[in-house]
Amino acid sequence: MLELVLVKLGGSLITDKNQPYTARLETMQKLVTEISLIKQQNPSLKMIIGNGAGSFGHQSAHKYNTINGVFCDADKLGFCLVHQDVLDLNRLLANCFLEAGLPVVSLPPLTMVVTQNKKLVKTDFSVIENSLKAGFIPSIFGDVVLDQVIGGTIISTDSLLVELAKYFHIQGNYQVKLINVGNYRGVYDQNGQVIPEITPANYAQIKAAIGKSESIDVTGGMIQKVEEFLAISDWGIDCWIIDGNIPGNLVEAVLGQATVGTVIRSGEYR
């Protein structure tokens, strides 16, 4: 079975979420170096890279309230400006991959998904699948999307990666894993300690300690992330939430070694 790892590079890590439009280029380069190492150590491993919007897309999405719909000309302009912001950040990241010699191809989710009242109703991931088969590394990101009821909205990288994890898992020829790399050590409990494992069984006890982002963020922060990842744990897809500031942590998580962070899994598939 082929191994497929979906990596989310959190906007909290690759940008300074408290400084509008501030990318962390050095951090991006370090993460790309780790991904190069992973490819060297396991050349047959397939990867899809997603990147969050950080202090780029979340700023404009908040300003234009794009997540709640696109109804007038000003909203339409906002929708387009948010799209440009996410493209701008993705381009900075894609350049780092290309400079490292990794064949990353940027694929805007706006062209692949449609929602109805913010719910995903249509997806066409064929370009991602074909890019993977052709030996490219698809690069996706949280984006604006067309919505059949409210005109337009926002879809997070996390939601897209969860959909992609299901899409490839269902095909039966991929062992799928999702790794979210952020500017946090993992998911913290009420004492600020990293929770090593979240399962459907222990979630009720720890839920109260998990909240939204402290920065401008329109897609829900940590609570949204954990709940989306929990929803695919029952499929046997493990999701890791790890600290991207610790050198080697991403390599270890992808290659299945001891990792600082939180794993979200059902517990039934081990």
Ligand X SMILES: C=C(C)CCOP(=O)(O)O
Ligand Y SMILES: Nc1ncnc2c1ncn2[C@@H]1O[C@H](COP(=O)(O)OP(=O)(O)OP(=O)(O)O)[C@@H](O)[C@H]1O
53 interacts with ligand X by CB under 6 A: yes
244 interacts with ligand X by CB under 6 A: no
244 interacts with ligand Y by CB under 6 A: no
Residue number with CB closer to ligand X (115 or 157): 157
DSSP string covering the chain: -EEEEEEEE-HHHHB-TTSTT-B-HHHHHHHHHHHHHHHHH-TT-EEEEEE--HHHHHHHHHHHTGGG---SHHHHHHHHHHHHHHHHHHHHHHHHHHHTT--EEE--GGGTEEEETTEEEEE--HHHHHHHHTT-EEEEE-EEEEETTTEEEEE-HHHHHHHHHHHHHHHSSEEEEEEEEESSSS-B-TTSPBPSEE-TTTHHHHGGG----SSS-SS-HHHHHHHHHHHHHTTT-EEEEEETTSTTHHHHHHTT---SEEEE--SS--
Q: Which amino acid would we find at residue 220? A: G
Residue 119 annotated in ligand binding: no
Which of ligand Y, ligand X, none does residue 254 bind (CB under 5 to 8 Å by kind)?
A: none
Among 4, 5, 6, 12, binds ligand Y (CB under 6 A): 12
177 interacts with ligand X by CB under 6 A: no
Residue 9 annotated in ligand binding: yes
35 interacts with ligand Y by CB under 6 A: no
Residue number with CB closer to ligand X (12 or 249): 12
109 interacts with ligand X by CB under 6 A: no
Residue 54 annotated in ligand binding: yes
DSSP string covering 36-95: HHHHHH-TT-EEEEEE--HHHHHHHHHHHTGGG---SHHHHHHHHHHHHHHHHHHHHHHH
52 interacts with ligand X by CB under 6 A: yes
240 interacts with ligand Y by CB under 6 A: no
Residue number with CB closer to ligand Y (85 or 217): 217
152 interacts with ligand Y by CB under 6 A: no
Could you tell me the smallest distance in angstroms from the CB atom of residue 180 to ligand Y? 6
Among 157, 183, 233, 262, binds ligand X (CB under 6 A): 157
Binding mask 208-237 for ligand Y (x = CB under 6 A): -xxx-xx--x-x-xx---------------
Per the annotation, binding residues are 8-12, 53-54, 58, 157, 221, 225
Which residue ranges make up the site for ligand Y (CB under 6 A)?
Answer: 10-13, 52-54, 58, 157, 182, 184, 187-188, 209-211, 213-214, 217, 219, 221-222
